[in-house]
Amino acid sequence: DGGITQSPKYLFRKEGQNVTLSCEQNLNHDAMYWYRQDPGQGLRLIYYSQIVNDFQKGDIAEGYSVSREKKESFPLTVTSAQKNPTAFYLCASSMGEIYNEQFFGPGTRLTVL
Protein backbone atom coordinates (compact mmCIF):
# COMPACT_ATOMS: atom_id res chain seq x y z
CA ASP A 1 0.00 0.00 0.00
CA GLY A 2 1.26 3.48 -0.86
CA GLY A 3 1.06 6.15 1.78
CA ILE A 4 2.60 8.11 4.59
CA THR A 5 3.33 6.60 7.97
CA GLN A 6 4.09 8.37 11.19
CA SER A 7 5.29 6.77 14.37
CA PRO A 8 4.55 6.54 17.14
CA LYS A 9 0.88 7.56 17.29
CA TYR A 10 1.22 8.72 20.91
CA LEU A 11 4.42 9.96 22.53
CA PHE A 12 5.10 11.10 26.07
CA ARG A 13 8.27 12.87 27.16
CA LYS A 14 9.54 14.71 30.16
CA GLU A 15 10.15 18.41 29.92
CA GLY A 16 13.69 19.20 28.78
CA GLN A 17 14.15 16.09 26.67
CA ASN A 18 14.57 16.09 22.92
CA VAL A 19 12.26 13.78 20.98
CA THR A 20 12.24 12.68 17.34
CA LEU A 21 9.06 12.01 15.37
CA SER A 22 9.25 9.68 12.41
CA CYS A 23 7.70 10.25 8.96
CA GLU A 24 8.10 7.86 6.02
CA GLN A 25 6.44 7.90 2.60
CA ASN A 26 6.49 5.44 -0.30
CA LEU A 27 4.61 7.67 -2.75
CA ASN A 28 7.84 8.77 -4.46
CA HIS A 29 6.95 12.38 -3.61
CA ASP A 30 9.66 15.00 -3.79
CA ALA A 31 8.35 17.43 -1.19
CA MET A 32 7.65 16.71 2.46
CA TYR A 33 6.25 18.90 5.25
CA TRP A 34 5.77 19.06 8.99
CA TYR A 35 2.79 20.81 10.54
CA ARG A 36 1.68 21.44 14.07
CA GLN A 37 -2.01 21.45 14.99
CA ASP A 38 -3.38 22.92 18.22
CA PRO A 39 -7.04 22.90 19.32
CA GLY A 40 -9.06 25.64 17.61
CA GLN A 41 -6.20 26.63 15.32
CA GLY A 42 -5.35 25.96 11.71
CA LEU A 43 -2.35 23.89 10.72
CA ARG A 44 0.94 25.75 11.04
CA LEU A 45 3.98 24.92 8.93
CA ILE A 46 7.14 24.00 10.87
CA TYR A 47 9.57 22.88 8.14
CA TYR A 48 9.41 21.69 4.56
CA SER A 49 11.78 20.01 2.15
CA GLN A 50 11.66 20.02 -1.63
CA ILE A 51 14.56 17.65 -2.29
CA VAL A 52 16.97 15.43 -0.40
CA ASN A 53 19.51 17.26 1.78
CA ASP A 54 17.59 20.53 1.53
CA PHE A 55 14.91 21.98 3.81
CA GLN A 56 13.41 25.36 4.64
CA LYS A 57 11.94 26.89 7.77
CA GLY A 58 8.21 27.38 7.92
CA ASP A 59 6.25 29.80 10.07
CA ILE A 60 7.08 28.28 13.46
CA ALA A 61 10.50 26.60 13.13
CA GLU A 62 11.95 27.77 16.44
CA GLY A 63 12.67 24.85 18.77
CA TYR A 64 12.47 22.26 15.99
CA SER A 65 15.00 20.63 13.66
CA VAL A 66 14.72 18.29 10.67
CA SER A 67 16.83 16.25 8.29
CA ARG A 68 16.23 14.88 4.81
CA GLU A 69 18.91 12.28 4.12
CA LYS A 70 16.57 10.06 2.09
CA LYS A 71 13.69 10.92 -0.22
CA GLU A 72 11.36 8.65 1.76
CA SER A 73 12.11 10.01 5.22
CA PHE A 74 11.72 13.38 6.95
CA PRO A 75 12.13 13.08 10.74
CA LEU A 76 11.30 15.98 13.03
CA THR A 77 13.13 16.60 16.31
CA VAL A 78 11.36 18.60 18.98
CA THR A 79 14.12 20.11 21.09
CA SER A 80 14.08 21.32 24.66
CA ALA A 81 14.12 24.87 23.27
CA GLN A 82 10.51 24.52 22.09
CA LYS A 83 8.53 26.31 24.80
CA ASN A 84 5.18 24.60 24.27
CA PRO A 85 5.76 21.26 22.51
CA THR A 86 2.55 19.46 23.46
CA ALA A 87 0.54 19.25 20.22
CA PHE A 88 -0.64 17.06 17.36
CA TYR A 89 2.05 16.80 14.67
CA LEU A 90 1.21 16.04 11.05
CA CYS A 91 3.57 15.06 8.26
CA ALA A 92 2.60 15.50 4.62
CA SER A 93 4.08 14.99 1.17
CA SER A 94 3.38 16.21 -2.35
CA MET A 95 4.58 15.45 -5.84
CA GLY A 96 6.55 17.93 -7.89
CA GLU A 97 6.15 21.61 -7.15
CA ILE A 98 6.17 22.25 -3.47
CA TYR A 99 2.61 23.45 -2.98
CA ASN A 100 0.84 20.82 -5.02
CA GLU A 101 -1.87 18.73 -3.40
CA GLN A 102 -0.61 17.33 -0.12
CA PHE A 103 -1.22 13.89 1.33
CA PHE A 104 -1.15 13.67 5.10
CA GLY A 105 0.02 11.01 7.52
CA PRO A 106 -2.07 9.85 10.50
CA GLY A 107 -0.31 12.19 12.94
CA THR A 108 1.61 11.88 16.21
CA ARG A 109 0.24 13.29 19.44
CA LEU A 110 3.11 14.49 21.61
CA THR A 111 2.56 15.19 25.28
CA VAL A 112 5.32 16.72 27.33
CA LEU A 113 4.92 16.19 31.06
Partner 1 sequence: KNQVEQSPQSLIILEGKNCTLQCNYTVSPFSNLRWYKQDTGRGPVSLTIMTFSENTKSNGRYTATLDADTKQSSLHITASQLSDSASYICVVSAYYGNNRLAFGKGNQVVVIP
Query: Given the rule CB under 8 A, which residues bind partner 1?
Result: 4, 6, 40-45, 59, 88, 90, 92, 99, 101-107, 109
- In sequence order, the 6+-apart residues with CB closer than 8 A to the CB of 59 are 44, 45, 46
Nearer to partner 1, 66 or 90 (CB): 90
Other CB atoms within 10 Å distance of the CB of residue 41:
9
For residue 103, the cross-strand partners are 93
Nearer to partner 1, 19 or 91 (CB): 91
Kindly state the smallest distance separating residue 32's Cβ from partner 1, in Å.
13
Kindly state the smallest distance separating residue 20's Cβ from partner 1, in Å.
19
Helices (H) and strands (E) counted in the chain, each on its own, are 0, 11
Kindly state the smallest distance separating residue 107's Cβ from partner 1, in Å.
5
